[in-house]
Amino acid sequence: MEIGQNASADKPALRTRNILPHRRASQTIEFVLDGSRYQMTVGSFPDGSVGEIFLNADRADSLLDVLASDAAILASLALQYGCPLDAILHAVKRDGRGVPASPIGAALDRITP
């Protein structure tokens, strides 16, 4: 067995992805962080819980835009596989005042009740 490879008995059970319906409620929010403008669209499950996030920076296809978009995709997948939004919020890096240090952290803070 190679490093990082699990024996079949050690493999965790796969979770089922909870995919959102084709038509769903959504909300679009714009905000500024460190001088850059962002646009976020949040899609919700029928019960109102957050199920997907799209996040884009004002400079299309810039490194910042790509990183923000990729972070939103990862957060969306985590939510769809059952990770609570609070757990993601707790995991993002924050500064000494408790303010999110990243665009995805700032975006998630804006949708938290």
* Count of domains forming the chain: 1
In the three-class reduction of DSSP (H, G, I as helix; E, B as strand; rest coil), residue 50 is classed as: strand
The region of weakest confidence among 6-15, 30-39, 53-62, 83-92 is: 6-15
DSSP alpha helix (H) spans, the chain: 63-80, 85-91, 103-111
Q: Which residues form the domain of 78? A: 21-111
pLDDT, tens digit (0-9, with 9 covering 90-100), for 77-98: 999 999 999 999 999 999 999 9
DSSP string, 4-63: TPPPGGGPPPPPPP-PPPSS--EEEEEEEETTEEEEEEEEE-TTS-EEEEEEEESSTTSH
pLDDT, tens digit (0-9, with 9 covering 90-100), for 10-28: 667 778 999 999 999 999 9
- Residue 15 domain flag: no
Region 53-73: mean pLDDT is 95
- Residue 37 domain flag: yes
> What integer pLDDT is reported at residue 12 of this predicted model?
73
